[in-house]
Structures are given as C-alpha cells and as structure tokens.
C-alpha cells in the first residue's frame, strides 16, 4: 500500500463526511419512519470498530426510496473496512495502487483509472460512478 498515514487519514475523513451526508439524506427521505430506526443503530454507524452495517439495516426499511444512498453507504462501509485491514487503495482488478488523487476525488474507488475505463466499456449499461 503506497498511501502515507497522512493520506489515509484524509481519505478516512472524506469517507466519514460523505457517509454522514448520506445518512442525513436518508433521514430526510424517510422522515419520521427513519428517525425511529436511526435511534436504534445510529451509534453503530458512527463508530469505527462496529461491523454492524447501517446500510443493511436501511435496506430492510425502505429500500427503493433510498437505494442510491444505501449502495453508496455500502461502498463506504467496505472502504472503511479495507482501511482498517490495510487493504485500501488497491485496484481490485490489476492490484496496482490506486492514485491518491483519484481516491481523494472518489474515495470509494475500487479500481485504478485504466481498469475503471475498461470496466465501463465492458459494462456500458451500468451506472458506475467515475471521475
Ligand atoms: Zn487496475
């Protein structure tokens, strides 16, 4: 892994901030109904050691309405697990290091730029976010 501790911290913060944004979006989307559920597991999602998946819990509540958010939250949860495991920032396809600049712009990136482009060509119909 080519990332420095400093870079890792920056990316972890970016992931955390984005995660919080998504939680707020979902909370607004679900309104009262959401508030009740959030009371139960908000703490788990905010902690660093909890492996409880807020995304999973949300998927049970109102999947269709918050699908996009839930998917991105899953991506963030898995990125944060990778950070803890020291496996973050490695391309899932070619296993090269993903450039820090790319991760900063897109912290849930699971592929390097060239593999992502290949992937998008092969899966042109999928809505894969890219930079
Ligand atoms: Zn790659």
Going by C-alpha positions, the residue among 88, 86, 85, 93 that lies closest to residue 113 is 93
CA of 53 to the centre of ligand 1 (A): 27
Please name each of the domains of the chain with its CATH number: 5-122 (1.20.120)
CA of 60 to the centre of ligand 1 (A): 33
User: CB–CB of 121/92 below 8 Å?
Assistant: no
User: CB–CB of 58/26 below 8 Å?
Assistant: yes
pTM of this prediction? Answer: 0.70
DSSP state of 97: B
- Tell me the per-residue pLDDT of 44-86, one tens digit each, with 9 for 90 and over: 554 554 556 777 766 666 556 788 898 999 999 999 999 999 8
CA of 40 to the centre of ligand 1 (A): 39
CA of 27 to the centre of ligand 1 (A): 35
CA of 21 to the centre of ligand 1 (A): 28
């Amino acid at each position: 892994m080519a990332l420095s501790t400093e870079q890792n911290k920056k990316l972890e913060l970016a992931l955390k901030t984005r995660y919080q944004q998504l939680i707020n979006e979902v909370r607004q989307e679900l309104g009262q109904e959401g508030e009740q559920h959030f009371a139960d597991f908000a703490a788990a999602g905010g902690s660093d050691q909890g492996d409880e998946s807020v995304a999973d819990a949300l998927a049970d509540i109102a999947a269709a309405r918050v699908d996009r958010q839930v998917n991105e939250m899953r991506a963030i949860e898995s990125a944060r697990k990778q950070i803890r495991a020291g496996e973050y920032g490695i391309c899932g396809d070619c296993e090269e290091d993903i450039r820090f600049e790319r991760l900063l712009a897109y912290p849930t990136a699971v592929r390097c730029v060239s593999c992502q482009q290949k992937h998008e060509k092969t899966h042109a119909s999928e809505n894969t976010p890219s930079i």
